[in-house]
A and B are shown apart, each in its own frame.
Chain A
């Protein structure tokens, strides 16, 4: 049952399974305690049993003793009825002990009660007979003593003494009468009668009436005694007929039978207990074996689990690394996406702005030119001073308009709207454009030196490289805090174009320098920089097959070196290998 609870590992409801296990354990304990109680209760019974058996023995002994006393009662007439009284008392006590004492047999079982009732009834009748017997015995004793006195007095009478024969007869009758009283079944009654005849016959010869009276008295006494002895004999026989012995035997038998039943019940309980205990032990053994195997399974599982754990940790580590790399990539891509989105929306804005500004710019500058021409035609009509003044004003206006036009052009060039992603491009141009765009950030204190060499056009994505230059120039300007020098050098080194952008700014330490190209690394306060700028720069240069490196000294300044290959760098950007990319079939 317990096993069941354990073995049902796969049971659905864990609580139900647990409940069943608990019930099984409770049941097993209940059964074993019941059996123990049944079995352990027996020694108490056994103690009583011994007492009961002793009591029954005592009762039997008392009964036998009483019977003996009754049988010997006539033999000890002189000693009186003390012995008999004692025997009777013992009998009564034994009977009471059996029927109503502390260890009585009453109430044990129905057959015992019946036997006990029978025994009590028998004992009662025996006791009442015993009373009669005692009275009769007392009478007999009285007659006997009277007879002895009468005999002695008769013998001492002179006439009796005179007659030898009478004397002999009196002596004989006394003797015979005594024997008659004592014997349980006297055979000398006839002889006593004969002797009485002879004594009566001899009575005639006596001297006086007194003597004759004495003889008569003796004979009467002999008769009385005889009748008392006979009555006593009858009682004795009745007494013997009372079946106290068998009743007691029956009682004992009934009790022993009952006890045997109890014993056999107890034995069967004990056997059951033993069997049950063995079963339980077996069950425990099985459970233990199962537990053992469970434990070993658990152990192996545990070790497997530990191994798995270790593996898992490794896997998790790997995954985590992969994930964080993916996250970094994603962030990078997101950054690039943001950047390209920014560029795209900038492009759209520039497209609109260019058109909207160029239109008024168109007529404004055209008009200024016309006015200027007209002014020249008006020469002489207005005084020279005014003409000069107008001239200056118109020149300024033209200058301003040209500035606006240039700014718009730069914006357009920078955003490269509608420009091919990959084309031949003069980097000097890109740098110029970038400088124009971030002109506002280059305050008066910043001096920009251009040292441009003639560069071959390189195949690249100009909008991306413009971003690179803008980024580096902006960083340089920010590093200088409004005062200093930016130097931009371009040159051709072997098969590469090199652009070096240096500033006289704060510079950076080794630690910073090691990280500047990592995404999200920034030295600017939170919210000021995304930390993406240089990482995107790095990526763009890498995509172009170029290299970027940085030299910096704290407090002195920083210089970035970019090298881009002159030929074939961005070939991969728009390689055309499939024929249908060139020409699509007519669908």
Chain B
């Protein structure tokens, strides 16, 4: 266990915990960040959890592949121990299941590949530190409310769910499964989705990765920028590690589900997402915790049908 507490500075500095089984990584990171932050390092998952138990930490950065405990596990437990701490995965290689777990269980802020660029890493850590300043508001777990037995009550549950998928049977199935509880809108392409977002109050979007030959990452990134309280769930048959990483870093999606998904998991996920939306609505500052990587504004010619301009227009006012 490496524990270095720098107490020289006067103003309280952000405390960052780096976890990696390779000590040279820890040395390098410490060298990189010790001037700006209070850097703590741990060479194993267990050591990291011990540090978290002993004191508060603002940001946790962990490697994925470690003996005994994986990075995702460490981050999941860190989430329970210190929910305020922002979680980042920094890894040389990560398989798809780890990425899915990082999204769904770890609810991580960023996924960074080794080797990293110092400049990028610095800005990411800075963003994480900034996000960590907002305290985490937990979903008020309405005690033992049976989520699956809920019935849609018009007027009260007037926040809708948008389903975006180009496969009709998928849309129908999802509408059938989710429509008992709340309003469900379906769209088969981006235009339809945008129209529905304009016309209705929508809290959760359930989408396939690619719709009508277009990847939705850009859409989700734009929505993250302009409609930060909208909670996104990706439900796809084409699970893809790289796109998963992209969806974390740029889209800050809430859940990444693989088809086929069990009905219970789907409804539970949507309900949780709806709670999340309500919290984000109630506490707009919480959206800072979900600050995504800024997507460079796409050049006009590649912005097909002006989708992103439209998003800007649409949510520039509302957000």
Chain A residues with a Cβ under 8 A of chain B? 351-352, 354-367, 369-370, 401, 405, 412, 417-424, 457, 459, 567, 574, 576-587
Contacts and interface: CB of A to CB of B under 8 A. Distances in A.
Given A361-B114, A576-B169, A355 B262 contact: no
Contact of B177 (A362, A457, A583): A583
A363 B266 CA distance: 40
B196 interface: no
Interface stretch (B87-95, B124-132, B197-205, B311-319): B87-95
Contacts of B152: none
Interface in B76-125: 90-93, 95-96, 99, 113-118, 121
A547 B239 CA distance: 28
11 contacts: A354-B92, A362-B25, A362-B114, A363-B28, A366-B115, A369-B117, A418-B240, A420-B209, A457-B215, A459-B213, A582-B173
Interface string B8-33: 00000000000010101101110110
A576 B259 contact: yes
B interface, by DSSP: helix, strand, loop or mixed?
mixed
Contact of B241 (A417, A422, A582): A417
A405 B115 contact: yes
Contacts of B114: 358-359, 361-362
Interface of B: 20, 22, 24-25, 27-29, 31-32, 63, 65, 90-93, 95-96, 99, 113-118, 121, 167, 169-170, 172-174, 177, 209-210, 213-215, 237-243, 259-264, 266
A358 B115 contact: yes
B35 to A, nearest CB: 10
A405 B31 CA distance: 22
A138 B237 CA distance: 162
Contacts, number: 136
Most A CB within 10 A of own CB, among B95, B114, B238: B114
B194 to A, nearest CB: 20
Given A424-B214, A581-B237, A587-B262, 20 more contacts: A351-B93, A358-B113, A359-B25, A363-B27, A366-B116, A366-B121, A367-B28, A369-B117, A370-B32, A405-B115, A418-B95, A420-B240, A420-B243, A424-B210, A459-B213, A576-B170, A580-B260, A582-B169, A582-B259, A584-B260
Contacts of A360: 22, 24
Nearest to B212: A567
Contacts of B172: 579
Contacts of A574: 237-238
Nearest to A369: B118
A364 B65 CA distance: 19
Given A459-B213, A580-B260, A583-B173, A365 B115 contact: yes
A582 B260 contact: yes
A121 B3 CA distance: 163
Given A356-B92, A579-B169, A366 B238 contact: no
A368 B170 CA distance: 51
B240 A362 contact: no
A587 B117 CA distance: 47
Contacts of A587: 262
Given A574-B238, A584-B262, A586-B262, A366 B32 contact: yes
A417 B98 CA distance: 13
A365 B177 CA distance: 50
B115 A576 contact: no
A359 B92 contact: yes
B173 A370 contact: no
A567 B115 contact: no
Contacts of A457: 213, 215
A361 to B, nearest CB: 4
Given A419-B240, A574-B237, A583 B115 contact: no
Contact of B22 (A359, A369, A419, A424): A359
A417 B170 CA distance: 27
A361 B237 contact: no
Given A363-B22, A370-B28, A354 B262 contact: no
Contacts of A359: 20, 22, 25, 63, 92, 114
B263 A584 contact: yes
Nearest to B65: A355
A428 to B, nearest CB: 15
Contacts of B27: 363
Contacts of A422: 238
Most A CB within 10 A of own CB, among B90, B93, B121, B214: B93
A386 to B, nearest CB: 22
Contact of B92 (A355, A370, A420, A577): A355
A296 to B, nearest CB: 70
The 10 closest A-B pairs by CB, nearest first: A358-B92, A418-B241, A362-B114, A420-B238, A363-B28, A420-B240, A355-B93, A355-B92, A354-B93, A418-B96
Nearest to A371: B31
B303 to A, nearest CB: 15
Contacts of A364: 115
B116 A362 contact: yes
A423 B241 CA distance: 12
B93 A358 contact: yes
Nearest to A566: B213
A370 B122 CA distance: 12
A419 B113 CA distance: 16
Contacts of B177: 583
A321 B229 CA distance: 66
A585 B263 contact: yes
Nearest to A575: B167
Contacts of A365: 115-116
A363 B90 CA distance: 12
Contacts of B170: 576, 582
B266 A583 contact: yes
A370 B31 CA distance: 8
B260 A366 contact: no
Nearest to B118: A369
Contacts of B214: 424
Contacts of A421: 238
A72 to B, nearest CB: 153
A369 B209 CA distance: 36
A365 B120 CA distance: 13
Given A363-B28, A576-B169, A581 B238 contact: no
Given A419-B241, A576-B170, A357 B92 contact: yes
A11 to B, nearest CB: 69
A20 to B, nearest CB: 76
B260 A581 contact: yes
Contacts of A369: 117-118
Contacts of B31: 366-367, 370
Contacts of A459: 210, 213
B29 A583 contact: no
B222 to A, nearest CB: 18
Most B CB within 10 A of own CB, among A422, A581, A583, A585: A583
Contacts of A352: 93
Contacts of A405: 115
A576 B237 contact: yes
B167 A585 contact: no
Most B CB within 10 A of own CB, among A361, A369, A401, A567: A369
Contacts of A354: 92-93
Contacts of B263: 583-586
A437 to B, nearest CB: 17
Contacts of B118: 366, 369-370
Given A370-B31, A417-B95, A418-B241, A363 B260 contact: no
